[in-house]
Amino acid sequence: MGQPDGWDLLTEPRFVGLNNYTALFRDSLFQTSLRNTFLFVIMDAPLAVIIPLGPAMLVNEQLPGRTLFRSAFVTPLMISASSVGVLWQWFYNPAFGIINFYAQIVGLPGQHWLSEAGWATFAIVITTVWWTSGFNMVLYLAGLQNIPEHLYDAAKVDGAGALALFRNITLPGLRPTLLFVTVTTIIGTFRVFAQIIVMTNNSGGPFDSTRSLVMTCTRRAFTSSARAAPRLWRGCCS
């Protein structure tokens, strides 16, 4: 496995063409991180786009206590990534976590969520959807309130049911919002980093099964900087 060529800021820079990209794509850790990140996006993005639409439509109705519901859905956005990671570590704890507790109540076997390669990515996806859905819900709510109410009134007079209203009025009216939510969610999902760091104790495990591209790039950047630091120090002080 070739190492990318770096510049220590002291010697004369040397043009290396595409050598760094070639070395990067030959790097097994980068390949693993790329695969993990695409898997995470495929699992997380559809849920993060679709799930918030339901709560948005619910709190858009004239229901008692809807202000409380709005606050409850948006509250996770106010929690830092480290707090979210620690909180869900407790939830997923195989000994006393509430996830296994309720799973066993309904007759399902408990799992070692964050220590099994088959479950760790799924666990982090659920955590991320819970944490970030409030933002998309707010966007959907803004989009719903921009749809003219008279369109719904006219459709109801013509006998349209709830499904017809959703398909023919709500979805077309939300098309710009849906596009924006989808694009921003995919971009944000590719940047997954902090919750994995906290929930896997900075390992990206088990067996690198949750290591993301940002984790790999960050680690390589700091590793390269650490290697160049002694040379930089000697050059500055000589």
CA distances from 9 to 4, 13, 154, 225, 232 (A): 15, 8, 69, 11, 7
What's the pLDDT tens digit per position in 78-131? Answer: 899 889 999 999 999 988 899 999 998 998 888 889 988 889 999 999 999 999
Q: Are 218 and 193 in contact (CB under 8 A)?
A: yes
What's the pLDDT tens digit per position in 217-230? Answer: 888 777 665 554 45
Convert 43-71 into a string of H (helix), E (strand) and C (coil). HHHHHHHHCCHHHHHHHHCCCCCHHHHHH
Cα(91)–Cα(77) distance, rounded to whole angstroms?
A: 18
Eight-state DSSP code of residue 9: S
Cα(148)–Cα(135) distance, rounded to whole angstroms?
A: 23
Q: Are 120 and 210 in contact (CB under 8 A)?
A: yes
Local confidence band at 169 (pLDDT 50, 70, 90 cut-offs): very high
**Structure tokens belonging to residue 185:** 């969610």
Nearest to 69 by CA among 138, 9, 117: 138
Nearest to 134 by CA among 74, 48, 68, 50: 74
**What is residue 232's predicted lDDT score, i.e. its pLDDT?**
43
**What is residue 64's predicted lDDT score, i.e. its pLDDT?**
78
Cα(196)–Cα(213) distance, rounded to whole angstroms?
A: 11
Q: Are 143 and 176 in contact (CB under 8 A)?
A: yes
Local confidence band at 1 (pLDDT 50, 70, 90 cut-offs): very low
For residue 93, the SS3 value is coil
**What is residue 203's predicted lDDT score, i.e. its pLDDT?**
81
> Kindly report the CA angle at 21 between 17 and 27, in degrees rounded to 5?
140
DSSP 110-141: P--TTTSHHHHHHHHHHHHHHHHHHHHHHHHH
Judge whether residue 235 has pLDDT over 80.
Answer: no
Judge whether residue 66 has pLDDT over 80.
Answer: no
What's the pLDDT tens digit per position in 133-148? Answer: 999 999 999 999 999 9
- Structural domains of the chain ordered from first start: 46-202 (1.10.3720.10)
For residue 196, the SS3 value is helix
The CA R_g of the chain, rounded to the nearest whole Å, is: 24
